[in-house]
């Protein structure tokens, strides 16, 4: 039964009651109007409250939830089975990314040979400033590379992610001493 039907029935019953007892008509009519007016005011208040809560949730609470999810999207070295390097230790291992440690360079960045006490010799790929469109792009690359395991490919050992858009983004790989695959294919001997 719809609200309109109920309202019509209520009004019909009210008018019938008024017709049966003329001496109570003014008092009964005003009390019914009070109930109807009270119901309308409560309904309008409930709708306004619902709309206000909806916009509060949509504009205030939803961005907070989204922010928490993006913070959760950060790289966790433990779950990826990778080591999270500090930029200072990478600078020490490569002598502050010096030319003598430079192994090669490409479109995305330079590759340096780094010497560590515990890990030994590793290849350190430091990305150019504009190599990644966003922090999330770098994180996706780390996640994907951490899953790639093959005996003919160098494995990802760790990463370094400095805070912010302009922060350092560095990938640390196993070091392969005999040059690149291109050198091997082209026949350059060492």
Q: Could you tell me the pTM of the whole model?
A: 0.56
How far is 185 from 34, CA to CA, in rounded Å? 93
Strand-by-strand arrangement of the 109-116 sheet? 83-84, 156-161, 169-174, 120-127, 109-116, 102-105
How far is 142 from 59, CA to CA, in rounded Å? 33
pLDDT tens-digit series, residues 67-84: 554 444 566 655 668 888
Indicate if the pLDDT at residue 43 is higher than 90: yes
* Residue range 77-186 in CATH 1.20.810.10: no
Indicate if the pLDDT at residue 121 is higher than 80: yes
Percent of the chain with pLDDT over 70: 65
Q: Give domain limits for the chain.
A: 3-72, 77-186
Question: What is the 8-class DSSP label of residue 178?
Answer: S
């Amino acid at each position: 039964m719809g609200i309109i039907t109920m309202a019509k029935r209520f009004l019909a019953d009210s008018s019938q009651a008024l017709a049966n007892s003329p001496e109570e008509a003014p008092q009964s009519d005003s009390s019914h109007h009070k109930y109807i007016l009270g119901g309308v005011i409560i309904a309008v208040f409930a709708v306004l409250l619902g709309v206000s809560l909806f916009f509060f949730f949509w504009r205030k609470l939803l961005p907070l939830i989204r922010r928490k999810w993006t913070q959760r999207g950060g790289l966790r070295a433990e779950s990826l089975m990778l080591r999270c390097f500090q930029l200072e230790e990478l600078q020490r291992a490569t002598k502050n990314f010096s030319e003598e440690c430079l192994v090669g360079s490409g479109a995305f960045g330079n590759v340096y040979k780094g010497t560590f006490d515990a890990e030994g010799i590793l290849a350190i790929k430091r990305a150019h400033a504009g190599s990644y469109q966003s922090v999330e792009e770098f994180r996706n690359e780390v996640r994907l590379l951490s899953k790639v395991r093959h005996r003919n490919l160098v494995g990802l050992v760790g990463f370094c992610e400095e805070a912010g858009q302009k922060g350092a983004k560095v990938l640390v790989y196993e070091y392969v001493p005999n040059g690149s695959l291109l050198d091997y294919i082209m026949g350059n001997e060492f």
